[in-house]
């Protein structure tokens, strides 16, 4: 996905699944999203990427659409989607719509935070509302930023990609603007390549206020896809919203 600051080019697209080896979480996410839509219903994924969520939903008979800013990621999706079951377009989901309405709109794995200003985030939520059916649901998965908000110096980490490659990561936080600056450097025997991206994190209560400004209201919040209760100790949340004018 790309909004001008997160560039998943061919290199990153080729190792994306190794960056996030979360197959167990994928099946749980698909189960929850599927439970919120009628059989054969319409689902839109923002930041659809290589189809980690979209393809299993399509395999269950849902009409799945997606928006993503990375042509490299969409190319991987097209390769995997041999039957052409997912309708995906390239674009900025904070301002690009599909022209359709959906039973469920979803954005997972912190992708909402690639909108790096409050205005972009509100614009995204307004686009979500426009594309929701009257009784539709919006599902947002994101980390709780509390542990990161207190960071006072950069953090360094390493991810194993495969037998011949690792990724070196750095992360630093600007608390005054709620921004996270990250770099990813792939070491695989060739010329090292470093990619930069920025996230604007938002606390759950802030997301709820932004959603209200966009005409949405919170329905449910859990700490994971298994619907365990969200508490002060939760590191992430799965939040479900509906249109503010949805029938009670």
Measured distance CA(50)–CA(82) in Å, rounded: 13
Residues 126 and 58 in one domain: yes
Express each pLDDT in 20-68 by its tens digit.
656 668 999 999 999 999 999 999 999 999 999 999 999 999 999 999 9
Domain that holds residue 185: 147-199
User: What b/e sequence results for 61-74 when a residue is b if at least 16 CB atoms lie within 10 Å of its CB, and e otherwise?
Assistant: ebbbbbbbbbebbb
Q: What does pTM read for this prediction?
A: 0.90
Please name the residues in contact with 245: beta carbons below 8 A apart, sequence gap of 6 or more.
Answer: 134, 215
Residues 235 and 157 in one domain: no
| CATH code for the domain in which residue 191 is found | 2.20.25.570
In a domain, 161, yes or no: yes
Please name the residues in contact with 191: beta carbons below 8 A apart, sequence gap of 6 or more.
Answer: none
By the 8 A CB rule, do 136 and 104 touch? yes
Express each pLDDT in 105-152 by its tens digit.
999 989 999 999 999 999 999 999 999 999 999 999 999 999 999 888
Measured distance CA(65)–CA(88) in Å, rounded: 5
pLDDT tier, 193 (very low <50, low <70, confident <90, very high otherwise): confident
């Amino acid at each position: 996905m790309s909004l001008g600051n997160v560039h998943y080019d061919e290199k990153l697209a080729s190792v994306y699944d190794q960056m996030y080896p979360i197959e167990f979480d994928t099946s749980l996410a698909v189960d929850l999203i599927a439970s919120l839509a009628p059989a054969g219903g319409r689902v839109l994924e923002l930041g659809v990427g290589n189809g980690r969520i979209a393809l299993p939903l399509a395999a269950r008979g849902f009409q799945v659409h997606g928006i993503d800013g990375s042509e490299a990621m969409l190319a991987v999706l097209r390769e995997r989607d041999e039957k052409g079951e997912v309708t995906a377009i390239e674009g900025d989901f904070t301002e690009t719509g599909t022209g359709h309405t959906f039973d469920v709109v979803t954005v997972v794995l912190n992708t909402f935070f690639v909108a790096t200003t409050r205005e972009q985030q509100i614009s995204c939520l307004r686009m979500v509302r426009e594309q929701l059916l009257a009784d539709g649901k919006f599902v947002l998965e994101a980390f709780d930023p509390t542990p990161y908000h207190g960071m006072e110096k950069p953090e360094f980490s390493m991810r194993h990609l495969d037998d011949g490659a690792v990724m070196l990561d750095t992360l630093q936080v600007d608390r005054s603007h709620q921004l996270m600056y990250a770099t990813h450097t792939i070491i695989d025997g060739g010329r090292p390549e470093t990619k930069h991206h920025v996230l604007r994190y938002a606390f759950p209560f802030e997301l709820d206020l932004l959603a209200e400004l966009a005409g949405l209201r919170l329905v449910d919040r859990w700490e994971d896809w298994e619907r365990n209760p969200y508490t002060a100790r939760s590191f992430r949340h799965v939040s479900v919203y509906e249109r503010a004018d949805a029938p009670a």
